[in-house]
Amino acid sequence: MEILVIPSVNEARMDDLANKTVIVIDVLRATSTMLTALAHGCRAIIPVETVLQAKQLQQPGYLLGGERACKKIPGFDYGNSPFEYMDDKITGKHLIMTTTNGTRAIQKSLKASTIIAASLLNGKACAKEAAALRRDIVILCSGTQDIYSLEDGICAGQLIEELQDILLSTGGIEPEINDLGLSMLYAYRQVQGNMTQALLNCSNGKRLSKLGFTDDIIYCSRLNLIDLVPIIQDGKLIATPVNQFI
C-alpha cells in the first residue's frame, strides 16, 4: 500500500487522486469546522468552490457557511470558526459551505474512490477508516493560496503515524510513504507534545491570532477529540462512525 502526501491543492493532479482513498486536510480551519458542525448534529455539508455556487444551491432550510480571507462572507449564516457551529441551530440542517482552500481541495478530489475530511481533531478515526478500505492513500494538504501550510503537514504526519500502526498491527503491512510524507511524520513527532504552540507559531496561526481567532487555533490543535469520519457521499459530507474492523 502506498501513502502519498501532496503539499497543497495546486500541486494535486487528477491522476494522483483517481480511484484512491483521498484524505483532505485543512486544519485551520475548514475540515476542523466541518467536523465540528457534523459532531453537533448538522445533517450534511455540501462543499462548493465558489460563493456563487453556494448561493445558487441555497433553498429553504439550508444554511450558508464559509469565509474569504478568514472572514465570514457577507450574507452568509456562518463563517469558518468551529465555535459558530456548536449550537442547536445547526442540528438536522444542511449546510452549504465554501472556503478559500479546504472546499476547493474536496472538489478537486471528486474522482477519488473515497474522500475523507480529516483534521487533528479526528486523525485517528480517519486513519482507521482509510486503513479499512485497503486502497492506496493520498493525503491532500489544502495549504493556503496554493502554498504549503505547516499545520496541514503536521496533520499528515499524525495520519501517517496512525496508519503505520494500524496497518502493521492488523495485516503486517508496511506502507510505502513518499519523502514528503516521511518529513511530515518526523515533524509531527517533534511537535506532538506541544501542538497548540506549534499551530500558534505557524503563518496561519499568527494571521488568525491577529484577527482575533486564537481560541479557534487552540481548539483545532486538540488531538483525536472527535470520533467521527466525514465522508463524501453523493456530493455531501456525511458523518460516519469509525470502521470497526480493527
* Overall average pLDDT of the 160-169 stretch: 97
CA atoms within 13 A on the CB side of 120: 26
Taking the C-alpha atoms of residue 103 and residue 214, their distance in angstroms, rounded to an integer, is: 22
Burial class of residue 135, CB neighbours in 10 A (0-12, 13-18, 19+): middle
| Distance (Å) of CA 49 to CA 34, 61, 101, 181 | 15, 21, 9, 27
pLDDT at site 243: 62
Helix axes 150-171, 203-210, angle to 10 degrees: 130
* Overall average pLDDT of the 32-48 stretch: 98
Delineate the domains of the chain, giving CATH numbers in brackets.
2-238 (3.90.1560.10)
E strands present in the chain: 2-6, 21-25, 44-47, 62-68, 71-72, 94-98, 114-118, 137-141, 176-177, 228-233, 236-241
Residue-wise pLDDT for 209-244, tens only, equals 999 999 999 999 999 999 999 999 999 999 987 764
Residue-wise pLDDT for 60-96, tens only, equals 999 999 999 999 999 999 999 999 999 899 999 999 9
Residue-wise pLDDT for 106-145, tens only, equals 999 999 999 999 999 999 999 999 999 999 999 999 999 9
Q: What is the pTM of this model?
A: 0.96
Helix (H, G, I), strand (E, B) or coil at 145: coil
Which among 40, 7, 244 is positioned nearest to 143, based on CA atoms?
Answer: 7
Cross-strand partners of 118: 25
Q: Convert 148-191 into a string of H (helix), E (strand) and C (coil).
A: CCHHHHHHHHHHHHHHHHHHHHHHCCCCEECHHHHHHHHHHHHH
| Distance (Å) of CA 52 to CA 55, 65, 98, 102 | 5, 13, 10, 17
Helix (H, G, I), strand (E, B) or coil at 142: coil
pLDDT at site 245: 42
